[in-house]
Amino acid sequence: MKSTLLSSSLCDPSRRQWLKAGALSLTGLASTHPLSLWAQEAWPARPVKLIVSSSPGGGTDLYARMLAQALGDVFKQQFVVENRPGASGNIGAAAVAKSPPDGYTFLVSANTSLTINGSLYKNLSYDAERDFVPIMRAFAPLVLVVNPATKARSLAELIDLGKREPGKISFGSAGTGSTTYLGVRMLEEKTGARFLHVPYKGVGPAYQDLLAGQLNFLFPDVASALSLIKAGKIIPIASEQRTPLLPGLPTVAEAGVADVSTNSSFSLVAPTGTPAAVVERMSRELLAITKSAPFAAKLESQGLVGELETPSALSASMKKERESYAAFIKRNAIVASD
């Protein structure tokens, strides 16, 4: 009897129309509100993309690949690194800001595009404070390195060259406004030396010209410079802060130039709107990873120090840094030129 009634109801044209309308309604809901169905999917159910806003070979790229491997091990899913360099990190940052906030696209960037460029560029297509949610960050001390042919084996000698031959001693950077650029501008402000700036799309290409003798010096992060220093291909003369990887190297302050307060950091951020559960889980797992002895040792071997902050605390720290750089940029009338 029940089967007869069921059969009759399904054959009823009005009943069939109602069922069809309901199915279409559910389809429309899924297409217009994809995040409402996120909870039904075990995240991550497919490869996750980490977009790096600089070229391969630099500290940001190195950090991203370390994260990709560690996260892949934890989540048993691929975390794929994709480099999108250019415009001092703006190209990669803009791409992630516009990407769907579905937990499958993240940005790994130096602090350039997250705390500096907002004060440097007038028409950015993204707002770092509004468009991103910070998840994790690592710091890398900056180190002044010279090509062996450059006649400077100390910071004092490099400053002297910059005073005696203003605008002739060249340095490379990852673009106007990058920490590799601002650090040298701070040196100029404090000492009166003047150097020739050559911008690149990331620090990787700058290293190539430094090694070829087409540049005199760089002010990059220890993470990317360490292997070349150990190989004797470039010579360190001072660092932004003490690092156990270069124990005998004086800091910039110890070498006679105080208040050069720039730093290099690499951050993992998500597009605003990414499900809170994804952000919280990523943060929780990355804090555990960073605290683990093997990963901490790996960070230290590359000159990196992991920041153990929650997303909210990290957001507050980055806001303070953003304000500090804004003041320096305004005081020195620095404008983007690349």
Q: Between these two residues, 104 and 33, which has the higher pLDDT value? A: 104
Lowest average pLDDT, out of 23-27, 171-175, 218-222, 267-271, goes to 23-27
Any residues with CB less than 8 A from the CB of 223 and at least 6 apart, and which? Answer: 59, 62, 63, 140, 302, 303, 304
pLDDT of residue 337: 66
Percent of the chain with pLDDT over 90: 64
pLDDT of residue 156: 97
pLDDT above 70 (res 18) = no
Beta bridge partners of 139: 265, 305
Percent of the chain with pLDDT over 70: 88
The DSSP line for 145-174 is EE-TTSS-SSHHHHHHHHHHSTTTSEEEES
pLDDT above 60 (res 249) = yes
226-243 tens-digit pLDDT: 899 999 999 999 999 888
- CA–CA distance, 195 with 163 (Å, rounded to integer): 9
274-333 tens-digit pLDDT: 999 999 999 999 999 999 999 999 998 888 889 899 999 999 999 999 998 899 999 989
**Starting at the edge strand that comes first in sequence, how are the strands of the sheet with 48-52 ordered?**
79-83, 48-52, 105-110, 264-271, 132-140, 305-307
115-167 tens-digit pLDDT: 999 999 888 999 999 999 999 999 888 999 999 999 999 999 999 999 999 99
60 touches 223 (CB < 8 A): no
Q: Which domains does the chain have, with CATH numbers?
A: 48-139+263-331 (3.40.190.150), 143-239 (3.40.190.10)
pLDDT of residue 174: 79
- CA–CA distance, 205 with 86 (Å, rounded to integer): 12
pLDDT of residue 172: 96
- Angle (CA) 63 68 73, round 5°: 130
Rounded average pLDDT over 102-107? 98
In 3D space, the residue among 239, 245, 262, 254 whose CA is nearest the CA of residue 304 turns out to be 245
pTM of the full structure = 0.75
Q: Quote the strand ranges of the chain, DSSP E.
A: 48-52, 79-83, 105-110, 132-140, 143-146, 170-173, 196-199, 217-218, 235-239, 264-271, 305-307
pLDDT of residue 141: 86
